[in-house]
Structure 1
Amino acid sequence: MSDVRLTHVGGPTTLVEVAGWRLLTDPTFDPPGRRYGFGLGTSSRKLTGPAVEVDALGPIDAVLLTHDHHADNLDDAGRSLLSLVDDIVTTESGARRLGGRAQGLRPWQSLTLSRPGRPSIEVTATPCRHGPPLSGPLVGDVIGFALAWEGQRHGALWFTGDTVLYGGVREVAGRVPVGTAVLHLGGVRFPITGPLRYSLTARRAVKLCELVRPHTTIPVHYEGWSHFQEPRPAIERAFSSAPAEVRDSVRWLPIGAPTDIDV
C-alpha cells in the first residue's frame, strides 16, 4: 500500500496507480503547435505533445483537476476525456462550469473516493494562489490535492497545483504530513505582465520543501509550454544548492515511463 506508480505524461499531467486505482491529474493531450489564450492578453504555445497518447492511457477512475480554465491544465482532448471518467474533483467554480459528475472542493475541504475491493482514498483540497497578491479575481480559483490512504509509509501524496509561495500554501506544512510532494514548477511568466510570476520558481520551491519536508520531491509542470520559464536545468541548479535533506529528496520522473515511488 506504500508502493505507487507514477507516470509523468507531460506538463502537469500525471497518472497515479495505487492498489487498483488509476487517477489522472490535469489532463492535457492536445498535439503541439497551437497557441492558447489565458485571458487579459496572456497566451502560451504548446511545444510538445503528451508522452502517452490519450487512446493508450487505459481506463481512468478519477480526474483530479486543479483548475479547468487554463489549457495547460485542461485542453480540448483532456476535456473530452472527462466524459469517460466516473469521478472529477476540482474547484467549486470549476465544478459549476463543468457540471455533470464534477465535484467541487474549497481549500481544506475533503471527500473520499471509494470502490468495492479497494482502499478508500481521502482527497483534501489545498490552497493555491495562481499569481501575485490580489490576482485571484483575474486568474481564477485553483487548488492542490493531498491524497491519503491506509498503509502510506511516509505520508500523503501532495500535488501542489499551480501556485506561488504564499501564506495559504505554507499552511500545508502544519496541516498535512507530506510524504511525496509533486511540485508544479516552471516559474510561469508572461511578457505583458513583466516580472510577475504565476507558478513556483525553483528557488521558492526549495523554500517550500524546507517547510513541508517531504520524503520525496517530484518536479512536474516545467516543460512543454512556452510560458514555462524555468526548464529542468534551472530547477536542478536551484536544488543542487538546497539543504541536503531537500536536495536528496528530489526524484525526476522520466517523461512517459511508469516509475515506482515509495509513498
Structure 2
Amino acid sequence: MSFEAVAFEGRLAERLKRPPERRPGRVSLFWLGQAGFVVEAAGRRLLIDPYLSDSLARKYAGTATPHERMAPVPVQPDKLGPVDVVLLTHRHTDHMDPDTLRPLAERLPDLRFVVPAAEIEEASRRTGVGAERLIPMDAGERRAVLPGIAVRAVRAAHETLEADREGRFRFLGYAVETAGATVFHSGDTVPFEGQAAEVRVLNADLALLPVNGRSEALASAGIAGNMTMAEAVELCRAAGIPAMLAHHYGMFAFNTAAPEAIDRIAAAAAPLRAGRARFGTEYRLGPVDEA
C-alpha cells in the first residue's frame, strides 16, 4: 500500500470541484483543520468532524480560553461540492458544529450523518435533520453507509470512556473501509487499556490521530485532552498500522502542539510513515502499482 503527500496550488474549494476518483483501493484525503478531514473513496466524498466556522470564537470571546483560529477556514461549507456522508465522532463543537453542519444539511437534502447513538438527540439538534438522515452507531458496530464504503465504530476516551444509561459510548472512532484500503480516525482520545487490540482488528492502512496532548491546567478549565505525538506513534506500532497523520493542532493557541515537536517525533518513527496533516496537500492512499 502506497501513501504519499502531494501539494496542490490554489484553494481547496477549487480542488474539490473535481469529482472523486473511482479506482479500487484509492483514497484521497484533505485536512480541514483540527480533527476535520475530507475523505474521497469509491467515487464518493465523506467528511469527518468538519469545523468550518467561528462559532467557538464567538462563544468564548473574552474568557480565559479564547477560541480564536490560528489559521483561517480552509474552505467554506458551501464550497465543499457534493458530500455523501458526514461522520461525527462526538458532541464537542469543534467536532459537531451546527454552524458548519446545518448549512451542509440544508444545501444537500440527501446528505446523511453517522453519529454516536448516545448523542443522537444532540446530533439532530445540531444538524437540523430528522432521524431518517442520521445513522446512529455504537462501538463494535459496522454499517454499510454507501456503495463500496462501510464504517466500523470503536471506543474513544476523551479523556475517559463515557457511556449513557444504555451503555452506548459517547466518544467514538471510525474506520472507513473501502475495497482494498481502510482509514482509521480515532476521534478525540487518550490511550486506554485494550485500545491497541481493539484498533488492531481494523487492519487499518492509515491512522488519523489527535496529538495536542493534555495537561492539568486544561483539565482544570474543563477542557479534555488527547494523545501526545509519542503516544500516537506507539498506538500505530502496537496496532500494526503502517502510516499516520497527526492532527488536532494549530487551531487554538491555548490547546495545541508545536509543529516542530510533531515533526521531530515523526522523523524518528521509521519504519512508520508518520507526519502531521497540512493544508494545501492531498494525501493519497492506494495500491503500490498506482503510486
Aligned residues: 246
Which one of the candidate residues 120, 126, 138 is aligned to 2:148? 120
CA distance in 2 between counterparts of 1:253 and 1:198 reads: 19
CA distance in 2 between counterparts of 1:44 and 1:104 reads: 32
Partner of 2:14: none
Contact 1:30 1:49 in 2 (8 A): no
1:262 aligns with 2:280: no
Partner of 2:137: 105
Contact 2:248 2:256 in 1 (8 A): no
Which one of the candidate residues 236, 254, 264 is aligned to 1:209? 236
TM-score under structure 2 length normalisation = 0.75
Instruction: Give CA deviations for 1:105-157 in whole Å, capped at 9, x if unaligned.
Output: 1111111112xxxx4211000110001x57768xx8110101112233xxx21
Runs of 4+ in 1 over 4 A off after TM superposition: 41-44, 133-137, 194-197
SS of the residue 2:205 aligns to: strand
Alpha-carbon shift at residue 160 of structure 1 (Å) = 0.9
Contact 1:16 1:22 in 2 (8 A): yes
1:62 aligns with 2:62: no
1:147 aligns with 2:176: yes
CA distance in 1 between counterparts of 2:86 and 2:97 reads: 13
Instruction: Give CA deviations for 1:189-223 in whole Å, capped at 9, x if unaligned.
Output: 47353599621111111211111222221112112
Alpha-carbon shift at residue 76 of structure 1 (Å) = 3.3
1:73 aligns with 2:95: yes
CA distance in 1 between counterparts of 2:36 and 2:219 reads: 26
Contact 2:52 2:76 in 1 (8 A): yes
Alpha-carbon shift at residue 46 of structure 1 (Å) = 3.4
Residues 189/225 of structure 1: CA separation in 2 closer, same or farther (3 Å cut):
farther
1:232 aligns with 2:259: yes
CA distance in 2 between counterparts of 1:94 and 1:42 reads: 28
TM-score under structure 1 length normalisation = 0.82
SS of the residue 2:271 aligns to: helix
CA distance in 2 between counterparts of 1:44 and 1:136 reads: 29
Partner of 1:166: 192
1:34 aligns with 2:57: yes
CA distance in 2 between counterparts of 1:171 and 1:227 reads: 33
CA distance in 2 between counterparts of 1:234 and 1:136 reads: 34
Q: Structure 1: which amino acid aligns with 2:97?
A: D
* Structure 1 portions without partners, runs of 5+: none
SS of the residue 2:212 aligns to: coil
Q: Structure 1: which amino acid aligns with 2:204?
A: V
CA distance in 2 between counterparts of 1:134 and 1:17 reads: 30
Residues 79/124 of structure 1: CA separation in 2 closer, same or farther (3 Å cut):
same
SS of the residue 2:281 aligns to: coil
Alpha-carbon shift at residue 225 of structure 1 (Å) = 1.8
* Structure 2 portions without partners, runs of 5+: 1-23, 125-129
